[in-house]
Structure 1
Amino acid sequence: MSAVPPPAATAAAGRPDGWSQRWRDNSPRWIHTSQGGFDQRRYEVVELPEAPARSFVARHHYLAGWPATVHRFGLLDLRAVPDEHAITVQGYSLVGVVVLGSPMNDRVLTNVFPDLEPFGQSLEMSRICLDDTVPGNGESWTVTRALHLAAGHGIRGVVTFADPEPQLRRLADGTVLGSPTGHLGIMYQALNARFTGRATPRTLTLLPDGTVLTARSTAKIIGQESGAAAVARRLHELGATPATAGQDPRTWLRGALAEIGARRRRHPGTYRYALRAGRTRAERTRTRIALAALPYPKHPAPRGPLDQSLHNAK
């Protein structure tokens, strides 16, 4: 059922023109609604332990890291016969994952949902990944069901982000993976999420393979927290000299980043969306979103003959 769209559609990734983004092997794929609609009877959303969720995201999603998770939900295909490469849950093929987790700073949540207890009643939706076997329009149904299950745990508000900047990473063999166009959050718009503008601008540390060394990873190294060894190993694989016994972690990290040629880049801030969660409409409407609703971001209109021809080609 997977398909690759014409070049114009790839260039306009995320436009609400009938194309839906899917993932396989860390790279985006595209399917069109004309290939067939999403049949709810074929799928089920269930709660997941960390292991299968993490394996699925690592195999398919463009972001290499794994966030701090609280709740994980999986989309199961009840009709597909699992092959030898499938990740299975309850005997069914896992074809999608939604992750709710904890951001580094509780203000990410309280700025949007000031009346909710951060981490207990509000969380960040940090990963959504459906593989390319899932037909168009499957995202909104999957996320809706995941939020309904999360509401059973007391979750009433979810913040999520879309990065409009390209997200690419390069493997050792030269293969480039990821999303070359960035994201506007079209799927969140389809869920009627509230767009609240951009998050705080920040400076990113770009590694040679195109991935970002997150602030959380940096904190793990400096504080020698759980997970620091995995971050250090990642830098070693990129060419950094291992730390010596007793070496100050902050000094080592600064030297390691210089050694591998890491670059600093200013990011204007990701797009921020807010979603209410609840098992009933009354539960959802009781949740107050403190930030005003802004017009949804859209791709710019065609500006010239070439741009127009690509737009019309879709």
Structure 2
Amino acid sequence: MGREFLLLGFTDDSELQPLIFCLFLSMYLVTILRNLLIILAVISDSHLHTPMYFFLSNLSFTDICISTTTIPKMLLNIQAQNQGITYTGCLTQIVFALVFDIFKNFLLAAMAYDHYVAICHPLMYMVIMNPRFCVLLILLSLSLSIVVALLHSLRVLRLSFCRDLEIPHFFCELAHVLKVACSHTLINSILIYFTTCLFGGIPMCGIIFSYTKIVSSILRLPSAGGMYKAFSPCGSHLSVVSLFYGTGLGVYVSSALTNSSRNTAVASVMYIVIPQMPNPFIYSLRNRDMKGALRKLISRTPSLL
């Protein structure tokens, strides 16, 4: 299919385009560099070769991929003064955005389960969270994410599109692409709601279950100091979970309450761009081991160069 979609972005004001370009370029570079530092720190420090940091490095990799799927094309379009994206490019954005968004849901649930086992079953921790199980968990989550994304993309391939292919967004989001289709999209919409409930709801229920058990276990500890020490590793994860699901809920509420596609696009930035940027700060600022590993990595970098 040789047609081109037009990504309208946030504004047609040419004076604001340089500001938007600089803002998103800065956010993208911060996201890439900070998450890359987390991955390198985990790889280089043997003390961080544990299930918790294994999942964290995968989370950082996922955040890099989510940002890279959407932001570079928008920056390229602003720089080239061209809003076009090919049909193949649009479909590619849909697939990769879905894969890593679903995968992130599973990762956050796996991290919650890791905390649950560490706090509620500490003596069995190394038996349950063994390396083979962690790798299988990642591979299964990624495989399911790819299958769901391909299922959605195959449904999009069956659609015919109208002449007006303007998408009021900065990337090809599935819901917006369906709005410019000429053929019936009922099955596509049902599939979206079904997969969202299944692959968004189940991980969220897993997170809630894990933290219910964690809080119940911690409340049985005799001292306040013991409670704080037991729960402190969960603080960073809860911050990331709140940011991820909170911004996702914000996009859903925004799209439900407003008819403005541009407003929905702005709200989507809070979900697609913002959560990926502060995650490394949250984990590096609240985690002594991670701060130590990052200091070692940075101090070693000049000698390597």
TM over 0.5: same fold? no
Higher strand content, 1 or 2: 1
Higher helix content, 1 or 2: 2
TM-score range, shorter chain: under 0.3
The answer to which structure, 1 or 2, has the higher relative contact order (CA under 8 A, 6+ apart) is: 2
Normalising by structure 1, we get a TM-score of: 0.22
